[in-house]
Structure 1
Amino acid sequence: MAADGRRLRPRKQPKQARAEITRQRILRAAAHVFTEYGYAAGTTNRIAEAAGISIGSLYQYYPNKDAILAELTAQHLDAGMAAGARVRSGELPESLDAVLRLFVRIVLGNHVEPPEYLRVLAERSPRTPQVMAMVQEHEDANIAYLREVLETHPEVRVADTATAAVLIASTLELVVHHVASRTGPAVDRDRFENELVAMMSRYLRGEAEPPGPTA
């Protein structure tokens, strides 16, 4: 495990602005290459070429493409965590539907990349301890905040707010990611947003028919 961690760790931590510019150029180029060619054909040679640097220069920063992908994944998670933190530090709209719409838009805003790129992040990114810790931190913060919102909002009628918070957080992340990364005809964003808000709102208001007793 320790060897794997070293294999995925960036080799050079930029200390000068010039080095940081090069690092960001590599990451942008890698995102483009993974989108265009996928993971398997997204080689370090192609990434270096897209970044306009030599392969030797790329290896001064990253030992392999998995290390680059791990950092791209960390950036994606960072953006989602920052967006969530901004929501938690501000005031929410009054109506439940407006609150849910805000949450949907925040998650949609973190899935604006091309579907091909989102699939590479989800399916091929190394599950490093750093990445998994970020995922857990992000989920825990979202669920805790959602539970607080659900417990205090006057329009919420669902009895088990702890379970509801887990369901809403999971629905937001998984459904939005699946729709944003799917192949085939694009889903109308406004219609998708409206239907997702309506689905969650009906559940939280207790408007859906409860399941009958199990045999």
Structure 2
Amino acid sequence: MTSGHRGLQPRKRPRQVRAELTRQRILDAAARVFAEYGYAAGTTNRIAERARVSIGSLYQYYPNKDAILVELLTRHFDAGMAAAPLDRDDLQAESVEGIMRFYVRSAIENHREDPQLLRVMMEQGPRAPELLERIAHHESRRIAQARRLLRNHPDVRVADVDVAARLVVSTVEMVVHRMMAGPGQVDVARFEDELVTMLTRYLTGDPVAAPGD
């Protein structure tokens, strides 16, 4: 009897694989629909049609398009973390400029695929509590990585590493998004060089004395 149950277990795997493929198809379709129509007009009906699934099937995976947006943003954040983990041991041996270039270039690459979709995700979607929680969690992880890296680097000369970590992460995330998702063409190489130079000089320059010191 036991061997019979074991023989049935692998049959669940194809269903799980199909379910995952369907979920990914819905997400990919939603990304295209949001980029094409915007968030307000990017209805679940349009997403289901583009994904070639019934509206009922879509609702089995996501209760509404807000949940789809949260999943798309989570995928975007996870891709960014995976592409530029600042807690890598080998980064400590890099120059501050090398570290900043690695971080900035990875952030740019993570924003280049579809600027229109990024505008929709960041600017048009509702600020649901779950979405804000995901954004805060991503930012906290990134700041913690940057804090450890800056604290242990011999060339970092900022007066307050905690503040510096927050400034670096906020600057990269916000400025890269604004430049890559904003209107008009961007000279990406020049933009990368200027942002890396700005951050490097801030981190390695002599701290400015506070008033009264």
TM-score w.r.t. structure 2 length?
A: 0.81
Partner of 1:108: 108
Aligned residues: 198
Partner of 1:198: 197
Check 1:90–1:15 CA distance in 2 against 1; reply closer, same or farther (3 A cut).
farther
Partner of 2:167: 167
Partner of 1:89: 88
The structure 1 segments of at least 4 consecutive aligned residues displaced by more than 6 Å after TM superposition are: none
Check 1:35–1:63 CA distance in 2 against 1; reply closer, same or farther (3 A cut).
same
Question: Hey, what's the Cα distance between the residues in 2 that align with 1:60 and 1:37?
Answer: 23
Q: Deviations over 1:153-208 (max 9, x none)?
A: 22222222221111111101111111111012x21111111000001111112269
Identity %: 56
Q: Which has the higher helix share?
A: 2
Q: Deviations over 1:16-55 (max 9, x none)?
A: 2112211111110000010111111111221122112233
5+ residue gaps, structure 1: 1-13
1:73-84 alignment, distance < 5 Å: 73-84=73-84
User: What is the CA-CA distance between 1:61 and the residue it aligns to?
Assistant: 2.5
Check 1:188–1:138 CA distance in 2 against 1; reply closer, same or farther (3 A cut).
same
SS at match of 2:159: coil
User: What is the CA-CA distance between 1:129 and the residue it aligns to?
Assistant: 4.4
Query: Rg bigger for which structure?
Result: 2
Alignment of 1:151 with 2:151, yes or no, is yes
Question: Hey, what's the Cα distance between the residues in 1 that align with 2:136 and 2:57?
Answer: 34
1:112-127 alignment, distance < 5 Å: 112-127=112-127
On the 8 A contact 2:39/2:125 being kept in 1, the answer is no
Q: Tell me how large the CA RMSD over aligned residues is.
A: 2.5
5+ residue gaps, structure 2: 1-13
